[in-house]
A and B are shown apart, each in its own frame.
Chain A
Amino acid sequence: MAVRRTARIAATIGIVGAVGLGLVAVAGGAYAQPQLPPVTPEDLVNSVLTHADPGPFNGTVELDNDLGLPALPQMPQAANGTSTARVWSGGNHLGRVALPTDTGERTLVSDGTTRWAWNSDDRTVVKRPAGAQADRAAPTDPAAAVAQAIAELRATSTVAVDGTATVAGRGAYELVLTPAPTERTLLREVRVAVDAEKRIPLRLTVLATGSSGPAVQVGFTALTFGPQDPALFTFTPPPGATVTDAPAKDPTTQHQDTTTVGDGWDTVKIMRRPAGTTTATAGPNTPDLSAIGTPVSGTWGSGRLITTAVGSAIVTDDGRIAAGAVPAPVLTDALSR
């Protein structure tokens, strides 16, 4: 009798284990769509554009990349695959970003006066004074960047709210921007999951024409608002590290020649590389683009065409770079103007 009871208990434990394995595997998967009060697209966009600072938070951001770019030595995140980042924000320009890899980590810390960049592979620290990049147009806050993109695309898109979603355990509205039919773009639609309470973008999904899955998806997989440990926003170079000052960038030569052709979804940016610099001297952080792409030529000159699922770029032999979320003919049109 006792043996039979023990056998039954053992079998139960085994079944619990097998079922548990399935539960662990699917945990964090599908959530039901949360019930949220309806909102009109205009209200949602306006609330994103005017959203208040969400305050200190920490979270994990995951990037799902299906662009079809080859792996670049300086940017492993560019190749297809998933990469994660852990972010902490303390408000007041305090921040910390950790980019873990299997065997190392890059850490970026902004302590209000100095920006530190640590690379565990070669144990180097690069420091630059905060505000050195402040005059650059690109906002460093990803939420603000998305808000700015929405503001720019709004005029040439159909904006809709397509239900709700759960992102990082938070209820969110799915804002969908579809390019107007006249736009000559490679993109099918851009989906932004907007937090229902804080009205900040939680997830950005870019879908390209001709493929069902997202070409790029970046969003929070975990997010907690609340005060953060101030020690996170300080950095002391560890013993044995090599500390270098970032080479001072002359803001007058950087990207001064950027011209914009077109507007909305088929905007093409044409940049001119500063005279005298080649890819070899453009700086250690500039990926070498000469190895990828296919040669193209036309009335505008000749160069190399790099295509991805969501955009194309032409690097011309005379030092111009034209890029946009557009097919190649739009780029050559813009270059020959």
Chain B
Amino acid sequence: MSALPDTGSLRDAPRTAPLRRLLGAEVRWVLRRPRTLVILGLLALIPVLIAVGVTVAGRRAGPGRGLIGAVAGNGLVLPIVAVTVSLALLLPLAVAMAAADAIAGETACGTLRGLLLAPVSRLRLVGMKAFGVLVVAAAAVLVLAVVGMLAGLLVVGETGWQLVTLSGTTLGIGQALARIALVVVWAVGQLAAVGAVALAVSAWTEHPLVVLAAVLGGLIVFGVLGAIPTLEWLQPYLLTSGWSAAVDALRDPMPLTGMWDATWRALCYLAVGLSATIARMLRRDA
């Protein structure tokens, strides 16, 4: 073994790290963060709390019990209700946290410089960071759905392996699982849009708190705008206005228009957010 490195083999070596290794490193990095694990654990508590609350309240509640009342004695509804309830604020919060740490957090710690100097193209860097955020979003929704299903079947599962829809029909376990899976995929898509916008904010600022404030503030503003009757024309532009569509999975036959519209809207937000992120990261000095 010579002391001098073999320059020939260095030139032939790949100049960039393989994508799979990059993504794996990012996922390990994201999922080992204690705050990610804590928020996933807290999200797992939501379906349990709903299940306990519904069981304690019993079925004595009268009309107007709302969506959570539909869980009573109908356990397989719980994952869908849990995802719908959390989609309003908690799931976007988890995604915004991940996106804030992804770029702004690294800038704040001074570790982004190392990544920008690494032999990884900026586009790949953005892809890697976006993948990390997406993994957190998927993990959060899956935790809600799986814990919701278990809690529903164990605590409130009076109808057992059947799902009574809001339309009064009864679905078998196969169809019920398919609908839960659809809601999970759909919700991850919506969160990907939130994550893309959060990443863009994250790329343009140095302070992770700004990302959290921008995303949560934006969601609240969207909610307020959506509630003003004279601004009804604005509704189709607001990401949040389609978020109640997950409830459609509990109707039979299932209307797909609501979820479909929301998905298109989410894709548009995703494109704008990712494009803003890439635009900033390409021009960023190390």
Contacts and interface: CB of A to CB of B under 8 A. Distances in A.
Interface stretch (B35-43, B140-148, B218-226, B267-275): B267-275
B66 A103 contact: yes
A155 interface: no
B24 to A, nearest CB: 24
A232 B62 CA distance: 28
Nearest to B234: A25
A120 B167 contact: yes
A120 B279 contact: no
9 contacts: A7-B282, A11-B275, A17-B268, A18-B272, A25-B236, A103-B66, A240-B74, A240-B158, A241-B164
Contacts of A121: 63-65, 69
The 4 residue pairs across chains A and B that have the minimum distance between CB atoms:
A17-B271, A14-B275, A25-B236, A118-B168
A50 to B, nearest CB: 33
Given A10-B278, A18-B268, A238 B170 contact: yes
A241 B168 contact: yes
B29 interface: no
Q: Is the interface of B mostly helix, strand, loop or mixed?
A: helix
Interface in B242-286: 244, 247, 251, 253, 255, 261, 264-265, 267-272, 274-276, 278-279, 282-283
B265 A24 contact: yes
Contacts of B70: 103-104, 120
Given A24-B261, A107-B168, A6 B278 contact: yes
Interface residues of A, number: 44
Contact of A13 (B62, B169, B271): B271
Nearest to B281: A10
Contacts, number: 122
B122 A102 contact: no
Size band of the interface chain B makes with A: 35 or more
Interface in B71-123: 73-74, 121-123
Contacts of B265: 21, 24
A57 interface: no
Contact of A240 (B159, B247, B264): B159
B228 to A, nearest CB: 14
Given A21-B237, A105-B251, A239 B159 contact: yes
Given A24-B236, A105-B166, A3 B122 contact: yes
A159 interface: no
B162 interface: yes
Contacts of A98: 167, 251
Contacts of A7: 278-279, 282-283
Interface in A65-117: 86, 98, 100, 102-105, 107, 116
Given A6-B123, A104-B166, 7 more contacts: A3-B282, A12-B275, A14-B272, A18-B271, A20-B264, A103-B247, A104-B66
